[in-house]
A and B are shown apart, each in its own frame.
Chain A
Amino acid sequence: MLGIRKEFPGIVANDDITLQVEEGEIHAILGENGAGKSTLMSILFGLYHADRGIIRVRGREAHIRNPNDAYDLGIGMVHQHFQLVHNFTVAENIIMGKEGGFVYDIRKASRKIKEISERYGLSIEPDMVIEDITVGMQQRVEILKMLYRDADILIFDEPTAVLTPQEIDELMGIMRNLAAEGKSIILITHKLDEIKAVASKCTIIRRGRLIGTVDVASTSAEEMAAAMVGRPVSFRVDKKPSVPGSPVLEIEDLSVMSSRKVLGVKHFSLTIRSGEIIGLAGVDGNGQTELVEAITGLRRAESGTIRFRGKDITELSIAERNDMGLGHIPEDRQKRGLILSGSLASNMVIKAFTKEPFSSHGLLDYPEIRKYAEGIAEKFDVRSGEGIDSLAGKLSGGNQQKAIIGREITADPDLLIAVQPTRGLDVGAIEFIHRQLVDERDRGKAILLVSFELDEIFNLSDRIAVISGGELMDIVDTSDTDEHAVGLMMAGIRRGDAV
């Protein structure tokens, strides 16, 4: 890809970007969110068209108008969100769109799938049904899908976001196998350790511009991070040892139904004390959502009790819990956290607009609301086009998140539940948010951090609770454990179990 430029209204997403990937190479593309990585790959995969620049595949200039053209050129992509039909088998999913004629031969296809699977060590059986297999295996089905179509340029878009550490290791192994067989791999990521582990070259993009292509072996992670962000960054959050005080939240034998009418949380017990951060580690979809919703009151507890500062809150309404000092940074900031069509100012008082000084006798006091919102925007560095009058939906993801965190922290809660507080944010914003959480802890607040990123859990938590299949596996001091041990528990293997 040479000199690629792509403009969207008001923004240059890619500005003269050149990317050269060689056969049998794992080439990483590193950049912050919104840097233009996905746009670049979408151009290669035929989803967008470049305004300028040319694409050459194996030396020949190519015009890729749609994904089918891309497949014909041997380009395949594993999307962040898998494109699989859940109640179809592996084989059916793989041949979809490639049935070839009116009557298709599933057995012949299955044989080919099995062959490919064995060749690259994917260990996938063609007649398994998608909904019965793990996320890691589903991802391998996506890989198989590309290989079945004879792709030899494989694009992986943030492939490790949904995997456990062990699954990540396996994926890395598969990628190395594929490269050894002569496939070229483009790995889109913002995780430096993955790049260090598998990639040989790394192209860094910042704000739509090409910063450079570096040799991974001879460049340190810090150098790459600095190139990505444009300034030196620190990975470690400086924090003093915690000084835990009295229990703030006590969960006892809690069970909660999931939306699928099965127990999402099973007999869960956990105590969080003031002045400590508890990290809840687990793979996405193992009961974290149900647990948090039960604590905040969004979901009914099936059995068990939740005590907040000694008082049973299991049956209290959401508003009552909020008023008692429970803060919540929700997992889905656009669905739960903000009213996107509302102004930043009104979003800042969404929990408090009925209270003094924001209203009295049912009438809103706009000057007070604006003053309060301006204070939050100032303190938490929320940037927007029109200040607090901007619509929340017009803010960037990082600024939306800073606004929510500002709102929750300014309300001065005793317990702050932060679910994926840095998802999709760039390194600068992550640093800022981590700092805020640690500061809150040092002010004597209790914090429950739910994250799918083990780095984040280890960086911030004083103690780590691991959840798997809705059950508490164990609670360990961060200093007494490592990523491997926690990773095993995330996969449902308890300490002491035979592996």
Chain B
Amino acid sequence: MTKGNAVPRPLEARKASPLIVSLSAVFLGIAAGCIFILCIGKNPFTGFERILFGALSNTRRIGNTLGMSTQLILIGLSVAFAFRTGLFNIGASGQMLIGGITGSILAFYLPMAMPRILYIPLVTLSAMAAGALWGLISGFLKAKFNVHEVVSTIMLNWIAYWMVYDFIPRFIVDPTISVKSKPIEAVHTLRADWLTSLTGFSTLNYGFLFAIAMCFIISFILRKTTLGFNLKAVGANRFCAEYAGIKVERSIMVSMAIAGALAGLAGLTYYCGYSNIMEMGKMPNEGFDGIAVALLGNCSPAGIFFSAIFFGILKMGRGSLAATGIPTEIADTIIATIIYFTATNVILASFWNRIFRSSFAGKEECARAAIAAEGKDIPFESLTKAEFREYAKKGRALQKGKEAE
């Protein structure tokens, strides 16, 4: 028990944790997927077996799945970071494009002879800086002119989209196919020979390691630093933050810049690692999938890591569905259903709370019976958790004994 005038609380039923809520959303999404597959007259088990096969059956596939998850982790972190600080970053797609185009142009123009040890940090930081700038614009508009970030980030998505549309033919066009950029030379991608050969020539690249590092860094910032404290305070109650002397406007800008930097890095890993070209006229879907990743992961870095891998499996595995006659859109349907159930987490939480309460009431009854049977007069409120469990068990045994008679 913590100090500081804690009033001892009577025992009570446990509460639904975010983990259990997220897992139930996943379970319900998969169950819904099963029903859909049944509806079209196929066997759901072959369907899920195929998805797992497509995503995880050999090292190359595992590598590809992780390669796909890389972007989702970073975008999930970007959305979650903004979310934790009270902002809704719906502009991860645009920040991704900006990060990607920055990386692609640098990959094209920087000398091939440049050592990797210099090249990789340079493009990484540049892409992050470009993404940060893109996020900062939204933050600035919000802080100074109270333009809602949902509006400004969506508009900036399209500005980024058309900028990329312009920059590809202007700077990095592939002379043979004019709607794409020229593939980046292998030494200028984020791919690493050891990762590629380890995973049988998959798309896995340094980006995955960056993503893992970012999970730790973001978690550290949010939990241990004054910066994180500052940003969370503004997100939780900007009036109180203002009263306490925190510079709210500056915090909003910093927060959006960090979110943008993460999305910019995601763009780099996507366009210069996972893939090596950029196409004109394509808004990356990952920017929106990242919102789902963040929601399912309860906006915590660890949760985001696992939910991104889960979504990665669905996205990579769905290709293998085609052979079974099950439409690949089933995977997207499952994702959509999971998002739906995650968004209605209040209902799921209250469902679990009700179950916990009734199970607790049952145990309480058993425990009281056991205490009475022993002829003791212990006030129920004074029991510790362990004692309570002990008595509940005894009471259950008593009940069973009676039923047997």
Contacts and interface: CB of A to CB of B under 8 A. Distances in A.
A247 B243 CA distance: 24
25 contacts: A298-B242, A317-B245, A318-B245, A320-B245, A322-B244, A338-B237, A339-B236, A340-B236, A341-B236, A342-B236, A344-B4, A350-B244, A362-B226, A363-B226, A364-B224, A377-B5, A378-B5, A382-B5, A384-B4, A384-B6, A385-B7, A386-B9, A387-B3, A389-B2, A390-B6
A387 B1 CA distance: 8
Interface stretch (A128-136, A329-337, A438-446, A474-482): A329-337
Contacts of B233: 339, 342, 346, 350
A383 B5 contact: yes
Interface stretch (A164-172, A198-206, A283-291, A351-359): A351-359
Contact of A388 (B2, B239, B244, B247): B2
B4 to A, nearest CB: 4
Interface of A: 296, 298, 317-323, 328, 330, 335-342, 344, 346, 350-351, 353-354, 359, 362-364, 373-374, 377-378, 381-390
Contacts of A298: 242-243
B225 interface: yes
A341 B227 CA distance: 18
Given A298-B243, A317-B245, A336-B239, A346 B229 contact: yes
A377 B243 CA distance: 21
B240 interface: yes
A386 B240 contact: no
Residue among B241, B246, B247 having the largest count of chain A Cβ atoms under 10 Å: B246
Interface in B225-267: 225-227, 229-230, 232-233, 236-237, 239-247
A270 B311 CA distance: 64
Nearest to A328: B243
Contacts of A388: 2-4
A351 B5 contact: no
Interface string B19-54: 000000000000000000000000000000000000
Interface string B272-292: 000000000000000000000
A293 to B, nearest CB: 10
Nearest to A322: B245
Interface residues of B, number: 27
A335 B227 CA distance: 22
B226 A364 contact: yes
Contacts of A336: 239-240, 242-243
Contacts of A386: 2, 6, 9
B224 A363 contact: yes
Nearest to A366: B224
Contact of A337 (B4, B230, B240, B247): B240
Q: Kindly list the 5 A-B residue pairs having the minimum CB-CB distance in the complex, ordered from nearest.
A: A319-B245, A387-B6, A387-B2, A377-B4, A387-B4
A383 B8 CA distance: 10
A396 to B, nearest CB: 11
Contacts of B2: 386-389
B67 to A, nearest CB: 34
Nearest to A355: B226
A260 B2 CA distance: 47
Given A383-B5, A388-B2, A330 B225 contact: no
Contacts of B242: 298, 318, 336
A278 B254 CA distance: 41
Contacts of B4: 344, 373-374, 377-378, 382, 384, 387-388
A351 to B, nearest CB: 5
Contact of A354 (B226, B240, B241, B243): B226
Contact of B247 (A319, A338, A364, A377): A319
A374 B225 CA distance: 21
B245 A340 contact: no
B237 A340 contact: yes
Contacts of A317: 245, 247
A377 B225 CA distance: 24
A44 B225 CA distance: 52
B3 A385 contact: no
A223 B239 CA distance: 42
A364 B225 contact: yes
Contacts of A382: 4-5
Interface string B297-332: 000000000000000000000000000000000000
B131 to A, nearest CB: 23
Contact of B244 (A340, A351, A363, A384): A351
A7 to B, nearest CB: 14
Given A384-B5, A385-B7, A387-B4, A318 B225 contact: no
Contacts of A354: 226, 230
